[in-house]
Structure 1
Amino acid sequence: MPPPLLEAHDLTATFAGPDGGPPVSVLRGVSMRVEPGEMVSIVGPSGSGKSTLLYCLSGLHAATSGTVRLLGEDLSTLRRGQLAALRRGRVGFVFQSYNLIPSLSARENVALPARLARHRISVEDVDRALAEVGLADRGGHKPSALSGGQQQRVAIARVLAARPQVVFADEPTGALDTASGTQVLDLLRQTAAGDRSVVLVTHDVVSAARADRVVVLRDGVVSRELTRPTADQVFAEISAGQVV
């Protein structure tokens, strides 16, 4: 059996308290793993630590303690340049805010990560990625000429063109209408195959239920893992113990 693409053990994340108050513990001993070909959703009530966990897993934020092995690399041992190279070359990101460069066309935005990583990428590869997300006729348009759903699909095309092994997605459908959100989730679901995996943070139980596994966070710890749950099961787990 191949090794996991991502493995975290006993992660903690502590931040300075507001106004000089006591430190705030956001993650308190989180352990999880992601296998090749898996899509894993991270869910939980507001303030449970979902986004902080995603940032620690992807190397965007250093955990206070614990270990993260991403694509065989212990993130705590990498220098800043090595970590940046790992993220540029083998990891993809999809955020709610799209993170497109306003002055570049859709085609140029899709090609940008590969070029920054000094990987060869052809016009054909870029156009193929745009066609896969239904934007074959929008390659020359800048982000301001695209709808929110189209901009998010350009962000997905950017990931498809770069072909990273692990894709991290933080609330990628949060600002989209239902139809656009479903389309984006379909693309992420298709991306998790073979030796490629997706880690998704979402507040939407229907989106979460598209994953192979759902990791439920509560108060900075993993309270439950669900395998191929229904949306109702995810909702029940998130809602358990909350005051209504």
Structure 2
Amino acid sequence: MTAHPGALPASLSARTRAVLVAHDVSKEYPGAGRVVDGVSLQVFAGELLAIVGPSGSGKSTLLHCLSGLERPTSGSVQIGGTRLEELGRSALARLRRERVGFVFQSYNLISSLTAWDNVALPARLARRRVRDEDVDRALAHVGLSSRARARPAALSGGQQQRVAVARALAVDRDLVFADEPTGALDSAAGAQVLSLLRSAAGANRAVVMVTHDLQAAATADRVLVLRDGAIHRELLAPTPTAVLQAVTAGGGGR
């Protein structure tokens, strides 16, 4: 099913609170030109949104602009009603710590810390009181209570990524951004991580996932297909076949 960009999915008809609003977002780099080109979208509480596209289509750059990791060249992004372009560097970093969680392909765990301490780290950086029960609950949710005192080197890739998911969920946040979260995992570990991200999209939280995995994208409520930095198609209740057809139709990406 194809929809107009920004349309409210029928499955979310009772959840109309937009936690992320982007308007006409573009990003340019010297020598590379415009990598993201006039993207407008909304993400709703309770939604898992997947962004797919050919290699070099601007997926990760768009995610970085939406999450505040990079500033767009033009356009606006709001998270929970706060306009990111109006924030200074310190305020933007504070917003990311307090309201946004991240799950990256490379896990980004601190090698000298245990799994428990990695999960607790964002709250400590945000100068929040770290409640043991919140960290314990997050690790239990990803099935790693027994590995709480293990350091990353003693964990498999799938276990490390589940620690990264627990870290993103341990503190209540509006949004979780996941950049190729299953890219370094085998199919079984990847399916576990996808299930966790799917369950993370609750009444007060949305998940935005960039992925090249069409099976992963098909678990989302909605899929945006990016080409040459712009939204080419939008799919609701997607199937892997529909996502493949949308990604491969027409010309290639930048």
After TM superposition, is the score higher than 0.5? yes
Which residues of 2 match residues 131-210 of structure 1 at below 5 A?
131-210=140-219
Partner SS for 1:92: strand
The Cα of 1:242 is off from its aligned counterpart by: 4.5
Q: 1:145, 1:235 → 2: CA distance?
A: 37
Which residues of 2 match residues 91-102 of structure 1 at below 5 A?
91-102=100-111
Give the aligned partner of residue 20 of structure 1.
none
- Is residue 123 of structure 1 aligned with residue 132 of structure 2? yes
Q: 1:66, 1:180 → 2: CA distance?
A: 37
- Is residue 25 of structure 1 aligned with residue 34 of structure 2? yes
Counterpart residue type for residue 98 of structure 1: Y
- Is residue 60 of structure 1 aligned with residue 69 of structure 2? yes
Give 5+ residue unaligned stretches, structure 2.
1-14
- Structure 1 runs of 4+ aligned residues shifted over 6 Å read none
The Cα of 1:162 is off from its aligned counterpart by: 1.3
The Cα of 1:193 is off from its aligned counterpart by: 1.1
Q: 1:139, 1:163 → 2: CA distance?
A: 20
Q: Which residue among 46, 50, 75 is the counterpart of 2:84?
A: 75
Give 5+ residue unaligned stretches, structure 1.
18-22
Superposition RMSD in Å: 1.1
- Is residue 16 of structure 1 aligned with residue 30 of structure 2? yes
Give the aligned partner of residue 6 of structure 1.
20
Q: Which moved more, 1:157-166 or 1:88-97?
A: 157-166
Give the aligned partner of residue 241 of structure 1.
250
The Cα of 1:127 is off from its aligned counterpart by: 1.4
Aligned identity (percent) is 60
CA offsets, 1:144-186, max 9 Å, x none? 0000000000001111211211000000000000000000000
Q: 2:169, 2:38 → 1: CA distance?
A: 33
Give the aligned partner of residue 211 of structure 1.
220
Give the aligned partner of residue 4 of structure 2.
none
Partner SS for 1:110: helix
Number of residue equivalences: 238
